[in-house]
Structure 1
């Protein structure tokens, strides 16, 4: 839900007295009606079986009005459905949707709305869906919304938002991704890597103004502005060190009221398995596997501590030595 809030104009709010609403319950599997049907509309998210980001988003996409991607009327140009290996009583799940609107957007093999290769198979070694022309193409991921998933929501609901999803293991982006005249509400980039943590490095940073008003950048340690701050109101020309999130998501917000094309930034990101970025007054840092007895091999972890202007970093390092004495009588 938080990814929708960041990347689209869709908002999920707590029900009060509305006549039509989604009633989310942990019962009966992972199920949802398609689109608005009126009244209390059941959306089932069984715990723990359905508690994955993209499974939940799959059902929310149904409620927002979207069918399965592999049910598109043009799907036979992109996949082969092997009906002989589908459980007969579940064959209806592969029916084509003839009245669906494809919104003029391409077929998305990796959409949260696409079945995986072995969906409803009667034989675990025989796929029910084979992508074409390349049978090795990945389909049916469960990491989260794709770029096309976001575009479809924004197009269907006529959203006017300045946002971009970056969901690869690495990539580059800049303030010129949108334009040199930014909306006063700001633009956001949501980085979501498949696993590990996000490591962000600025290759150019030039946000010139006084006291970071009205132009500035904010970086959050998660997918929305409700998450802790990694960097609060950054500006100037300071070369920031690599910034590492604590999870697989990081949100960058850039607010600018200038049309100067030189004002902005360029950056790259990649996936790392450990490390961190700390800018708070007092924080505790521990190594991976601390207090568990399990230490992953071959890790190179970088931890950056950024103190406010005029302050210094003071650290306390605790070392524990264990001495074993053997006595014989």
Structure 2
């Protein structure tokens, strides 16, 4: 090798350490991720005891199945039990093939293809969620669209997790598309959205399992409606077509739903793409019904979900930016013993203005009997905004956040006209919270034209405001002249500009110098895009604490976290906070000195140091060892 351009120092005896400027060697880092949402010890479906298609089964599930074949994440047989297990009831048939069959010892009753176990149903229909950091903005938008689809047609509600103990985690696991059925309780559980699973209909299907649904073809009466063509099923996948016994399933009088989004397609687990494994047995309205659609919830899906979660029979989930609703029979009067619930949900970052246009309910003390109740949030335990009866029209009501809960009850035989109301979503406003979400109007769908939204965010005193973007897609322009997002360091439009953004690249993380942040979103009347989704939170400098973030040498603050680092010549120890002598490196300095690890003290054991020196061709290297002390017979190679 040309010594005028490169000089390789091999110090196999651990005898020398670089001693040059602190900036000559890149410091080593440890990122403290203890506060991030990505490090979650969740119940992993890929570690399930067995699978039924994309359904993960745990040991508790297996107690009601006789299982003699356990399937790994690639859906391959990894274990066959040739005996009857006293717990699971495993057995092997005469042909030597294993199968999964129901365990007759512990019969359970399931509603249609849904769980009937109370602990598997999410309390109040509220499902907290977290989306892990390995998904793109467009994927996150699909997840939210799928969740809103379930919310629109049922009384299930998805909320971003705050302090809830049980919640779901959207993540990407090796098992591809898979989930447990229902709530598992006692902590987080994963819903895996693997490669090619990030499609709207597939995510809706997987969320169906989370909500509590099994596959439609597992109904005990399925043989009256579909034929299973076993010769076309992939070897080892026969168990995916098992059905449940009448004593275990209650179909509740509902007809078999060919159109269910929870139904297998006709060639699922087929030996060939053109070979059918499951087919309808008869025509419906003169046509053989298609199966396996992944487009939207069927009427049967909606009916069963509403039954499973005991949704009120009247009311609605309202997601448009404006709309109206009224009591049943308005203005001709309502019936006694009515119970209706309306859920208004708009884009995070928007607020709701609710105006009653007519009010004629039976008047009673404290509105004890007939009344309409408004709560500032997503459920019946949210803060009460007001309880109204009589004929006085309430003042306009403005939500604190992006959801309102409206509940109407009648208990008298007195006949009044009822009530009617209109609502509208407004974007922007003052936000005084330590964390939350800001999204463009109508996100995850395209933002609306001719919108101007201004947010003034304030967190607790003594903190900064941190802003991170999950997705970003605003009409591109060189100077962001048409649609744009503007962010300023303060609470007015005259505060220092932190950035004006458009296009498709996510902006870098933003941190203010105070506890206030000003944001403005503008769209014109032409091109509309998907918009943006961002999280804000109170940010502190952990490195400014007296303990230096518990870092021995360097503490480097980052948005939402911090890094421990070591000076050149040292590296992080196993505790990731203290530093120990290091060696080796890539050196481009024109001059410097090298010492062994810990010099002038004894160097530590088990070190292997390599330095590589690179200089311009016109600068030859002249290495020289000025002092050398080693009590052993070891050597230094130069």
TM-score, normalised with respect to structure 1:
0.53
Per-residue Cα deviation, 1:241-280 (whole angstroms, up to 9, x for no partner): xxxxxxxxxxxxxxxxxxxxxxxxxxxxxxxxxxxxxxx9
Alignment of 1:130-279 (within 5 A): 130-134=279-283, 136-160=288-312, 162-163=315-316, 179-180=329-330, 214-216=420-422
| 2:215 matches 1:68 | yes
Aligned to 1:103: 252
Higher radius of gyration, 1 or 2:
2
Q: Which runs of 5+ in 2 are unaligned?
A: 1-146, 319-324, 345-356, 360-392, 397-418, 426-440, 450-521, 529-638
Deviation at 1:154, TM superposition (A): 0.8
Report what 1:124 is aligned to.
Answer: 273
In 2, Cα distance between the equivalents of 1:43 and 1:285? Answer: 35
Verify: 1:22 aligned to 2:168, yes or no: yes
Deviation at 1:179, TM superposition (A): 4.9
SS in 2 for 1:12: strand
Higher strand share: 2
Does structure 1 residue 40 correspond to structure 2 residue 192? no
- Which has the bigger relative contact order, CA under 8 A and spacing at least 6? 2
The 8 Å contact of residues 103 and 152 in structure 1, kept in 2 or not, is answered as no
Give, in whole Å, the separation in 1 of the partners of 2:156 and 2:170: 17
Q: How far apart, in 2, do the equivalents of 1:179 and 1:159 lie?
A: 20
**Do the aligned residues in 2 keep the contact of 1:218 with 1:229 (CA within 8 Å)?**
no
**Which SS does the other structure have where 1:114 is aligned?**
coil
Structure 1 unaligned runs (5+)? 166-174, 189-206, 231-279, 287-329
Q: Against the structure 1 CA distance between its residues 75 and 179, is the aligned structure 2 distance closer, same or farther, given a 3 Å change threshold?
A: farther
Q: Supply the distance in 2 between the matched residues of 1:103 and 1:76 (Cα, whole angstroms).
A: 17
Distance 1:61 1:83 in 2: 26
Question: Could you list the per-position Cα deviations for residues 281-308 of structure 1 after superposition, in whole angstroms to 9, with x for gaps in the alignment?
Answer: 951269xxxxxxxxxxxxxxxxxxxxxx
Inter-CA distance 100–32: structure 2 relative to 1 (3 Å threshold): farther
* Alpha-carbon spacing, 1:118–1:156, altered in 2? closer, same or farther (3 Å): same
> Distance in 2 between the 1:225 and 1:179 partners?
31
Match of 1:284 in 2: 526
Distance 1:58 1:96 in 2: 19
Change (3 A) 1:225 1:147: farther
SS of residue paired to 2:156: coil
Distance 1:282 1:12, change over 3 A: closer
Distance 1:185 1:163 in 2: 7
Helix, strand or coil at the partner of 1:89: coil
1:13 Cα deviation after fit = 1.8
Structure 2 CA distance, aligned partners of 1:53 and 1:144? 9
Count how many residue pairs are aligned between Structure 1 and Structure 2.
Answer: 207
Root-mean-square deviation (CA), in Å?
Answer: 4.0
State the alpha-carbon separation in 2 of the partners of residues 93 and 215 from structure 1: 49
| Cα distance in 1 for residues equivalent to 2:527 and 2:263 | 40
